[in-house]
Structure 1
Amino acid sequence: MIVNIEIISAEMRREGEKGYVGNTVYRTEGEKSVYEITFMSKNGKDWDYSLHFTEQSGDEDELLRMDELLENDDDVYNQLLDAALEAYPA
């Protein structure tokens, strides 16, 4: 399944010894909700994430479907992570 992603904003920063923290705000084609995924990594290679709505609370089932998509579709996940990484000031 191909999912079209519209990236609204992205950022990445280093927080001292804690490592890297970044986020990407986005929406998917056909969805009303806007999501924010926050990425966290101590070494800049192994990433954890947290997903939530940005503007207001939405349908929990919608959020669970998006989380499942991120878990199962590496292309979507990597597109969002790459957007945050590209925003990191070199």
Structure 2
Amino acid sequence: MNYTILDARMTYSKEDGYVGHVSFQIENHKHDYEITLHSKYGREWMYALNFLNESGSEEDILAAEAEIDENDEWFDAFVEAAKSKLIKE
């Protein structure tokens, strides 16, 4: 499974910590995704995965989530892409 990052952004504030968004597409999936990343201090990251523009199949999003959970390279790439666009408030 391969992915392509479409866009990335991240903000930082003392109140919210780091909040990032990365939109991406996965080869052979009909719909694009957005992963939202959050870390209070920039070390331990939580995420939420959603379809970007319109809903797709549950099977596709579960496969995408499984890949993110199992593939540290994917997750790290999403975090780094967002961090590269960091804007401090």
Task: Check whether TM > 0.5.
Answer: yes
Number of the residue aligned with 1:20? 18
Q: Percent identity?
A: 33
TM-score when normalising by structure 2: 0.91
Provide structure 2 residue ranges, at least 5 long, that are not aligned to the other structure. Answer: none
Q: Report the Cα distance in structure 2 between the residues aligned to 1:6 and 1:58, rounded to whole angstroms.
A: 17
Partner SS for 1:81: helix
Partner SS for 2:86: coil
Is the strand fraction higher in 1 or 2?
2
Cα RMSD (Å)? 1.3
How far residue 53 of structure 1 moved from its aligned partner, in angstroms, is 0.1
How far residue 15 of structure 1 moved from its aligned partner, in angstroms, is 3.0
Number of the residue aligned with 1:40? 38
TM-score when normalising by structure 1: 0.90
Is the helix fraction higher in 1 or 2?
1
How far residue 8 of structure 1 moved from its aligned partner, in angstroms, is 0.7
| CA offsets 1:8-42 (integer angstroms, 9 cap, x no match) | 10000013322110010000122221000000000
Partner SS for 2:66: helix
> In the comparison of the two structures, how many residue pairs are matched?
88
Number of the residue aligned with 1:80? 78
State yes or no: 1:68 paired with 2:80: no
